[in-house]
Amino acid sequence: MSFPIAWLDLREPADHAARDPGLRSAAAALVEAGGLIVDLGSGTGSTVRALQPHLAPSVRWRLVDHDAAVLREAGRRTAAETVLCDLSRDPPPIEGAALVTASALLDLVSEEWIERLADALEARRAPFYAALSYDGCMSFDPAHPGDRAMIAALNADQRTDKGFGPALGPDGASVLAEALRSRGFRVRVEASPWRLGPADGELVAALLSGIAGVAAGPGGIAEDEVGDWLAFRQARAADGRCLVGHVDLLATPAP
């Protein structure tokens, strides 16, 4: 599944603000000077920009993505090594990694893919830091009677195939956490929600449009109900609030 560069850029400030600072610092501390970080599903390199201030300047990056255009942009913005790879079918190229990372990925993948990733991490005893996995929790203030149905439609869509088989959606991070714990990893999970308000109007507008599109299509909600909900949300954009739940995960192999 590919995401437009414009969407990746739009969400990046909210992503950076949401990351749990404790896990971010702990992940960065695992990488010594000159070490290699491999970022899976890198997009344009948002993880690089989030972690770089906390790393030694000599830390190296390998950015992995299946979208050639996005990967070229990542290389231009970060000067990191880039690897074009279809992670839905090919093994993750994590050889030599002091740390493997991913952002907004675990909610897109299947249980089978999670097991393969866990096996690869175990074989190489590689720590893994995954940020911003959607956890299915969303709320709006002020509330609207249609909120519950709209969020349910979104969460149902999150479990459809995103290119990796039937997606785990909101369960992705917890399934990986259990898979890694069963392989002897120490796993920490912390909340990293988007907390959006009037200053995030463009991102909120894009989010609302996406939810409405899912609800009116595969979600099966009547068009007039979707339209009423969307009009209410758009009218309250100047003073409304939105919380979108995510979690961050850090897994380290046991000594």
Q: Is the residue at 225 inside a domain?
A: no
Q: Is the residue at 222 inside a domain?
A: no
Q: Is the residue at 66 inside a domain?
A: yes
Count of domains forming the chain: 1
Max Cα–Cα distance, the chain, nearest Å: 58
Q: What is the pLDDT along the chain (255 residues), one digit of tens a residue?
A: 779 999 999 999 999 999 999 999 999 999 999 999 999 999 999 999 999 999 999 999 999 999 999 999 999 999 999 999 999 999 999 999 999 999 999 999 999 999 999 999 999 999 999 999 999 999 999 999 999 999 999 999 999 999 999 999 999 999 999 999 999 999 999 999 999 999 999 999 999 999 999 999 877 899 999 999 999 999 998 999 999 999 999 999 988
Q: Is the residue at 88 inside a domain?
A: yes
> Residue 126 to residues 51, 76, 130, 204, 252: CA-CA distances in angstroms?
17, 27, 13, 36, 7
Q: Is the residue at 81 inside a domain?
A: yes
Q: Is the residue at 128 inside a domain?
A: yes
- Nearest 5°: phi and psi at 130? -120, 120
Supply the CATH number for residue 56's domain.
Answer: 3.40.50.150
Q: Is the residue at 28 inside a domain?
A: yes
State which residues form the domain around 119. Answer: 5-135+162-194+245-253
CA distance 114 to 176: 6
Q: Is the residue at 47 inside a domain?
A: yes
